[in-house]
Protein backbone atom coordinates (compact mmCIF):
# COMPACT_ATOMS: atom_id res chain seq x y z
CA UNK A 1 0.00 0.00 0.00
CA UNK A 2 1.44 3.36 -1.00
CA UNK A 3 1.98 6.05 1.59
CA UNK A 4 0.65 9.58 1.17
CA UNK A 5 3.39 12.00 2.16
CA UNK A 6 1.09 14.74 3.51
CA UNK A 7 -1.80 14.61 6.00
CA UNK A 8 -5.21 14.57 4.30
CA UNK A 9 -8.13 16.61 5.66
CA UNK A 10 -11.61 15.25 4.89
CA UNK A 11 -15.08 15.97 6.22
CA UNK A 12 -16.18 12.77 7.92
CA UNK A 13 -15.28 9.33 9.17
CA UNK A 14 -16.57 7.51 6.07
CA UNK A 15 -14.33 9.70 3.88
CA UNK A 16 -11.44 8.73 6.14
CA UNK A 17 -12.30 5.03 5.93
CA UNK A 18 -12.40 5.24 2.11
CA UNK A 19 -8.98 6.96 1.86
CA UNK A 20 -7.39 4.57 4.37
CA UNK A 21 -8.69 1.58 2.41
CA UNK A 22 -6.67 2.79 -0.59
CA UNK A 23 -3.54 4.32 0.95
CA UNK A 24 -1.37 4.36 4.02
CA UNK A 25 -2.25 7.89 5.07
CA UNK A 26 -2.76 10.19 8.01
CA UNK A 27 -6.33 11.36 7.60
CA UNK A 28 -7.93 13.96 9.85
CA UNK A 29 -11.67 14.59 9.80
CA UNK A 30 -13.18 18.03 10.26
CA UNK A 31 -16.33 16.61 11.83
CA UNK A 32 -18.32 18.39 9.14
CA UNK A 33 -19.53 21.82 10.16
CA UNK A 34 -18.28 21.37 13.72
CA UNK A 35 -14.92 22.67 12.43
CA UNK A 36 -16.45 26.16 12.56
CA UNK A 37 -16.54 26.00 16.37
CA UNK A 38 -13.47 23.88 17.03
CA UNK A 39 -10.40 26.05 17.56
CA UNK A 40 -8.46 23.02 18.81
CA UNK A 41 -9.01 21.22 15.49
CA UNK A 42 -7.86 24.30 13.57
CA UNK A 43 -4.75 24.45 15.78
CA UNK A 44 -4.09 20.78 15.00
CA UNK A 45 -4.39 21.43 11.26
CA UNK A 46 -1.94 24.33 11.56
CA UNK A 47 0.55 22.17 13.46
CA UNK A 48 0.25 19.35 10.96
CA UNK A 49 0.72 21.72 8.04
CA UNK A 50 3.81 23.27 9.63
CA UNK A 51 5.29 19.91 10.54
CA UNK A 52 4.57 18.12 7.25
CA UNK A 53 5.13 21.19 5.07
CA UNK A 54 1.66 20.95 3.53
CA UNK A 55 -1.73 19.36 4.00
CA UNK A 56 -4.07 17.95 1.38
CA UNK A 57 -7.57 19.40 1.58
CA UNK A 58 -10.16 17.03 0.08
CA UNK A 59 -13.73 18.02 0.92
CA UNK A 60 -16.93 17.06 -0.89
CA UNK A 61 -17.79 18.90 -4.11
CA UNK A 62 -21.03 20.28 -2.74
CA UNK A 63 -21.90 23.58 -1.07
CA UNK A 64 -21.11 22.26 2.40
CA UNK A 65 -17.71 21.01 1.28
CA UNK A 66 -16.91 24.40 -0.23
CA UNK A 67 -17.88 26.18 3.00
CA UNK A 68 -15.67 23.88 5.09
CA UNK A 69 -12.79 24.29 2.62
CA UNK A 70 -13.14 28.09 2.69
CA UNK A 71 -13.15 28.14 6.48
CA UNK A 72 -9.97 26.09 6.71
CA UNK A 73 -8.31 28.25 4.05
CA UNK A 74 -8.88 31.36 6.19
CA UNK A 75 -6.70 29.83 8.92
CA UNK A 76 -3.81 28.44 6.86
CA UNK A 77 -1.37 30.02 4.49
CA UNK A 78 -2.21 29.18 0.83
CA UNK A 79 1.25 27.67 0.29
CA UNK A 80 0.50 25.09 3.01
CA UNK A 81 -2.62 23.72 1.29
CA UNK A 82 -2.88 21.31 -1.60
CA UNK A 83 -6.45 21.67 -2.84
CA UNK A 84 -7.82 18.51 -4.41
CA UNK A 85 -11.30 18.35 -5.84
CA UNK A 86 -13.43 15.33 -6.65
CA UNK A 87 -15.59 15.55 -9.78
CA UNK A 88 -19.14 16.67 -9.13
CA UNK A 89 -20.78 13.29 -9.69
CA UNK A 90 -24.52 12.79 -9.34
CA UNK A 91 -25.48 9.88 -7.13
CA UNK A 92 -26.08 8.54 -3.64
CA UNK A 93 -23.67 6.84 -1.25
CA UNK A 94 -24.49 3.16 -0.67
CA UNK A 95 -24.86 3.55 3.09
CA UNK A 96 -27.42 6.37 2.80
CA UNK A 97 -31.15 6.03 2.23
CA UNK A 98 -31.38 9.23 0.21
CA UNK A 99 -29.02 11.31 -1.86
CA UNK A 100 -27.62 14.52 -0.39
CA UNK A 101 -29.58 17.73 -0.87
CA UNK A 102 -27.55 18.50 -4.00
CA UNK A 103 -27.59 14.86 -5.15
CA UNK A 104 -23.79 14.78 -5.41
CA UNK A 105 -21.46 12.02 -4.23
CA UNK A 106 -19.09 12.90 -1.42
CA UNK A 107 -15.51 11.68 -1.10
CA UNK A 108 -16.75 8.37 0.33
CA UNK A 109 -18.87 7.69 -2.77
CA UNK A 110 -16.35 8.59 -5.44
CA UNK A 111 -14.94 5.73 -7.49
CA UNK A 112 -11.68 4.29 -6.14
CA UNK A 113 -9.86 4.89 -9.44
CA UNK A 114 -10.71 8.60 -9.30
CA UNK A 115 -9.38 8.95 -5.74
CA UNK A 116 -6.25 6.99 -6.62
CA UNK A 117 -5.56 9.26 -9.60
CA UNK A 118 -6.08 12.37 -7.44
CA UNK A 119 -3.78 11.20 -4.64
CA UNK A 120 -1.17 9.22 -6.61
CA UNK A 121 1.08 12.27 -7.19
CA UNK A 122 1.46 12.61 -3.40
CA UNK A 123 2.60 9.06 -2.69
CA UNK A 124 5.86 7.38 -1.97
CA UNK A 125 6.56 3.71 -1.69
CA UNK A 126 6.31 2.81 1.98
CA UNK A 127 9.68 2.37 3.54
CA UNK A 128 9.23 1.19 7.09
CA UNK A 129 10.90 3.36 9.72
CA UNK A 130 13.44 1.75 11.96
CA UNK A 131 11.51 0.09 14.78
CA UNK A 132 12.74 2.58 17.37
CA UNK A 133 11.66 5.67 15.40
CA UNK A 134 7.90 5.20 15.43
CA UNK A 135 5.69 5.71 18.46
CA UNK A 136 3.44 2.65 18.78
CA UNK A 137 0.29 1.68 20.65
CA UNK A 138 2.53 -0.36 22.96
CA UNK A 139 4.44 2.85 23.79
CA UNK A 140 1.18 4.61 24.64
CA UNK A 141 0.31 1.74 26.97
CA UNK A 142 3.76 1.78 28.58
CA UNK A 143 3.45 5.53 29.20
CA UNK A 144 -0.01 5.06 30.74
CA UNK A 145 -1.85 6.83 27.94
CA UNK A 146 -4.00 3.78 27.14
CA UNK A 147 -5.27 0.72 28.96
CA UNK A 148 -5.47 2.13 32.49
CA UNK A 149 -8.22 3.65 34.59
CA UNK A 150 -6.72 7.14 34.41
CA UNK A 151 -5.51 6.94 30.77
CA UNK A 152 -8.23 9.17 29.36
CA UNK A 153 -7.50 11.98 31.82
CA UNK A 154 -3.75 11.58 31.24
CA UNK A 155 -4.26 11.81 27.44
CA UNK A 156 -6.48 14.87 27.81
CA UNK A 157 -3.91 16.61 30.02
CA UNK A 158 -1.10 15.77 27.60
CA UNK A 159 -3.07 16.87 24.54
CA UNK A 160 -4.02 20.13 26.22
CA UNK A 161 -0.38 20.77 27.17
CA UNK A 162 0.79 20.33 23.56
CA UNK A 163 -2.15 22.30 22.11
CA UNK A 164 -3.90 19.42 20.39
CA UNK A 165 -7.64 18.73 20.66
CA UNK A 166 -8.20 17.20 24.10
CA UNK A 167 -10.88 14.82 22.81
CA UNK A 168 -8.75 12.98 20.23
CA UNK A 169 -9.04 9.21 20.20
CA UNK A 170 -5.86 7.27 21.02
CA UNK A 171 -5.46 6.33 17.34
CA UNK A 172 -5.88 9.91 16.15
CA UNK A 173 -3.43 11.09 18.81
CA UNK A 174 -0.93 8.42 17.73
CA UNK A 175 -1.11 9.55 14.08
CA UNK A 176 -0.67 13.21 15.02
CA UNK A 177 2.25 12.73 17.41
CA UNK A 178 4.07 10.52 14.89
CA UNK A 179 3.91 13.42 12.42
CA UNK A 180 4.75 16.14 14.92
CA UNK A 181 7.43 14.48 17.06
CA UNK A 182 10.19 11.93 16.99
CA UNK A 183 9.93 9.28 19.67
CA UNK A 184 12.80 10.91 21.54
CA UNK A 185 11.14 14.37 21.43
CA UNK A 186 7.84 12.93 22.62
CA UNK A 187 9.48 11.07 25.52
CA UNK A 188 11.02 14.36 26.64
CA UNK A 189 7.57 15.98 26.54
CA UNK A 190 6.19 13.29 28.79
CATH number at residue 114: 3.40.50.140
Q: Does one domain contain both 120 and 142?
A: no
Q: Does one domain contain both 91 and 145?
A: no
Q: Does one domain contain both 143 and 179?
A: yes
Q: Does one domain contain both 117 and 169?
A: no
Note whether residue 129 is domain-resident.
Answer: no
- CA dist 90 and 55 (Å) reads 27
Residue 175 has pLDDT above 50, yes or no: yes
Q: Does one domain contain both 119 and 150?
A: no
- Sign of the CA dihedral running 132, 7, 112, 15: positive
Q: Does one domain contain both 89 and 18?
A: yes
Length of the chain: 190
Over residues 23-60, the pLDDT tens digits come to 999 999 999 999 999 988 999 899 999 988 999 999 98
Q: Does one domain contain both 164 and 99?
A: no
pLDDT for the residue 126: 45
Phi-psi category of residue 103: left, alpha or beta, with phi > 0 → left and psi -120 to 50 → alpha: left
pLDDT for the residue 8: 96
Note whether residue 105 is domain-resident.
Answer: yes
Residue 131 has pLDDT above 80, yes or no: no
Note whether residue 40 is domain-resident.
Answer: yes
Contacts for 3 with CB less than 8 Å, ≥ 6 apart: 23, 24, 25, 123, 124, 125, 126
Which whole number is the average pLDDT over 87-113?
82
Note whether residue 34 is domain-resident.
Answer: yes
Q: Does one domain contain both 113 and 165?
A: no
Q: What is the share, in percent, of the chain residues with pLDDT greater than 70?
A: 96
Q: Does one domain contain both 59 and 101?
A: yes
Total domains present in the chain: 2
Q: For residue 104, what pLDDT band results from cuts at 50, 70 and 90?
A: confident
Burial-class residue 75 by CB neighbours within 10 Å (0-12, 13-18, 19+). Answer: middle
pLDDT for the residue 58: 95
In which domain, by residue range, is 52 found? 3-124
Q: For residue 150, what pLDDT band results from cuts at 50, 70 and 90?
A: very high
pLDDT for the residue 98: 78
Q: Does one domain contain both 59 and 112?
A: yes
Q: Does one domain contain both 73 and 149?
A: no
pLDDT for the residue 68: 95
Q: Does one domain contain both 26 and 117?
A: yes
pLDDT for the residue 167: 76
Amino acid sequence: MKKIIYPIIVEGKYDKIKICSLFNATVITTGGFSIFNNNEKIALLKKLALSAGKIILLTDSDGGGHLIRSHIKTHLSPDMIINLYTPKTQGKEKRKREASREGVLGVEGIDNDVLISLLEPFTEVSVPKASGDTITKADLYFWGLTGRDDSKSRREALLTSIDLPHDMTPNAMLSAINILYTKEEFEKLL
